Amino acid sequence: MTAQVPYEAFDHTADIGLHAYGSTLAELFANAALGMESLMVAPDQVRPLASREITARGHDLVSLLVDWLDKLIFLFDTEFLLVCACEIQAISETQLTASVSGEPYDPQRHELSSAIKAVTWHEAAVERTAAGYKATIIFDI
């Protein structure tokens, strides 16, 4: 049996979509975040120099996922912080706490592939699979 990829992008006319995978919810949410960040800058270009604590909330797993990713976009838009590592400390259907690390965007060193401006709810999903969980999300870029 081949190992599951943590995430993979898919095409959309104006924007971009992501499938993320994880054997646990925590792994899924971490991979969804790292997948989103990878759409902006390749992970190996980002160093874990600064960290932030994040709490996200929702009324179900999809709204929790959207809130979690929204908070990372907020960090990028206000502090220009790119994230390369995530540790989900606690997660339930309605709340998660996490510690993320990364560094500010530096046009000299970071090759930007896209600038993600928002997370959309279009076709957003969190599903159980044989191997654990799968998330689907489309971003506005």
Q: Which residues bind other proteins (CB under 8 A)?
A: 9, 11-16, 59, 62-63, 66-67, 70, 74, 77-78, 80, 105, 107, 111-115, 117-124, 138, 140-141
Number of other residues whose CB lies within 10 A of the CB of residue 19:
17
* CB of residue 98 to other proteins, shortest distance in Å: 18
Q: Which is nearer to other proteins, 23 or 92 (CB)?
A: 92
Q: Which is nearer to other proteins, 57 or 131 (CB)?
A: 57
* CB of residue 41 to other proteins, shortest distance in Å: 10
Q: Which is nearer to other proteins, 47 or 59 (CB)?
A: 59
Whose CA is closest to 33, among 107, 99, 128, 122?
99
Whose CA is closest to 140, among 15, 9, 11?
15
* CB of residue 24 to other proteins, shortest distance in Å: 24
* CB of residue 115 to other proteins, shortest distance in Å: 4
SS (H, E, C) 73-88: HHHHHHHCEEEEEEEE
Q: Which is nearer to other proteins, 7 or 27 (CB)?
A: 7
- What separation in angstroms does the CA of 97 have from each of 7, 8, 71, 108? 21, 24, 12, 32
Q: Is the Cβ–Cβ distance between 54 and 102 less than 8 Å?
A: no
